[in-house]
Structure 1
Amino acid sequence: MSNDLRSTIHDILVDDLEVDTESIATDVRLDTLELDSLAIVEFITRVKEEFNVDLADEESALKNKTFGELVELVDARLGSS
């Protein structure tokens, strides 16, 4: 997994969803970032636009993932596309 991928996903959370950059670590669970359902949909849309991968089927599970697991999920989707 590339650092560019991790960095881009980090930037989407910080720049688009206004998540505090200091609160994002590999092992932080997304549900602790206080992302509401609208923010999750916005995030999924931005990831789809940025990487041309679809996470819509993962929407409900995303809140239970860590930032690192999320990056791995996008990386896996990129590998299978």
Structure 2
Amino acid sequence: MSNDLQSTIHDILVDDLEVDAESIATDVRLDTLELDSLAIVEFITRVKEEFNVDLADEESALKDKTFGELVELVDARLGSS
């Protein structure tokens, strides 16, 4: 997993979804970041715009993932595209 990828996803959460930067760590579950369903959809849209990777099929499962798992998921999708 690249630091650039992790940094970009971190920036999407902070800049676009107004998540507190201090609260984001590799092992933090997304559901603890107070992301509602609209924020999840916005996140999926931003990831698609930024990386050309579609996570729509993961929408319901994203809240249960940690930040690290989310980065790994995007990384895996990048590798398969």
Task: Give the TM-score taking structure 1 as reference length.
Answer: 1.00
Q: CA RMSD for the aligned pairs?
A: 0.2
Find the residue that maps to 2:49 and give its secondary structure: helix
For structure 2, list consecutive stretches of 5 or more residues without a partner in the other structure. none
Q: Which contiguous aligned blocks of 4+ residues in structure 1 show a shift greater than 2 angstroms?
A: none
Give how far 1:38 is off.
0.2
Give how far 1:48 is off.
0.2
Which residue does 1:16 correspond to in 2?
A: 16
Task: Give the TM-score taking structure 2 as reference length.
Answer: 1.00
**Mapped partners of 1:36, 1:28: distance in 2:** 16
For structure 1, list consecutive stretches of 5 or more residues without a partner in the other structure. none
Give how far 1:17 is off.
0.1
- Work out the percentage of aligned pairs sharing the same amino acid: 96
Give how far 1:80 is off.
0.1
Residue 55 of structure 1 pairs with residue 55 of structure 2: yes
Which residue does 1:27 correspond to in 2?
A: 27
**Mapped partners of 2:34, 2:60: distance in 1:** 14
- Per-residue displacement from partner, 1:26-78 (whole Å, max 9, x unpaired)? 00000000000000000000000000000000000000000000000000000
Q: How many residues align?
A: 81
Find the residue that maps to 1:46 and give its secondary structure: helix
